[in-house]
Amino acid sequence: MGLNLLVTGAGGFLGRAVVAEARAQGHAVRGVTRADVDLVTGDLSGLLDGIECVIHLAGALSGDCAVQARDTLTATRRLIAALQAQPLPPRLVLASSIAVYSADASGVVTEATPIEDRPERRDAYARAKLAQEGMLRVSGLRHTILRPGAILGPGRMMTAHLGPGMGGTLILMERGGEVPIVSLNDCARAFVLAAETPGEGRALNILGADRPTRARYVAALRRTGWPRHVLPLNWRMVAPLAWLLLPLGARVPGLLRPAVLRARMRPVRYDIAAAQLALGWVPQDDFDTAFARAQEEAA
């Protein structure tokens, strides 16, 4: 039997895929974009009428602390308040991020790995996701938190876990470890399954089963014609400069902050067994298939 779902951020990259997947599975979907209702300033009364579960995807993917405070945190705070005001609050599935884990994590990152306990040393996006999770945990709402990695799809083939790009050159800052990616299709299926599956208060990693090394990822990128050149510059060589610039705080670009540099470049591996067990979710796309589809659909 289908659910009555509300999807925020329904016009976004992931939102469109989640709406399509939910409807394909027979659910009734109320998709909300900022043009429909601005979660920050709009009237949320009536938005939740008849809704059984909310998939909350709306939020800023980039921007400074002010942007994140408005588009991610204020929007989430107001949505939580609207849910709490309901006689029987719907469940909430929150889109968080793999970025919430500690910059000092090593080895294999699982849901038992500590999340960042010093948010102030991280970039605005990671801080916002940590704050979102914190709001939800103390809200009293029934919820599931999903932590996707970088979502691979049309127009989203580059990832910050490789290093910065400058013109036709990629500065590759690490070759080992796994790139934490998930295909758009597999990620959308995970969110719909989370809406369908009872279970409260859990957080789950959402990543593909075939997670490439950075070297393999760069090889796939180069077959697209970019980058023309790859300049190896191990992130550990940059770390001393990052420490020297630390007193400048927010004025320093993200990758020149020690914790941000470590969080993005440390050579770790990831585990998705918890999501597979809890949701019955099995990623279907191997890396080469997902990359080829993203390239084809972007053409």
- Give me the pLDDT at residue 272, please: 98
Give the CA dihedral 187, 147, 257, 262, nearest 10 degrees.
Answer: -90
For the whole model, what pTM was predicted?
A: 0.95
Tokens of 66: 């002010």
- Give me the pLDDT at residue 249, please: 57
Residue 216, amino acid: R
- Give me the pLDDT at residue 298, please: 84
Taking alpha carbons only, the member of 299, 298, 7, 8 closest to residue 153 is 298
SS3 assignment for 269-282: EECCHHHHHHHCCC
Is there a contact between 34 and 12 (Cβ–Cβ < 8 Å)? no
- What's the CATH number for 4-156+180-212+268-289? 3.40.50.720
Mean pLDDT by 10 residues, the chain (299 residues): 95 97 98 94 93 97 91 97 96 98 97 96 95 97 98 95 93 94 98 93 97 96 96 88 61 72 95 97 97 91
Helices and strands, counts by H and E, the chain:
10, 13
Taking alpha carbons only, the member of 167, 159, 180, 162 closest to residue 233 is 162
Helix (H, G, I), strand (E, B) or coil at 98: helix
The strand pair at 143-148 and 202-206 is best described as parallel
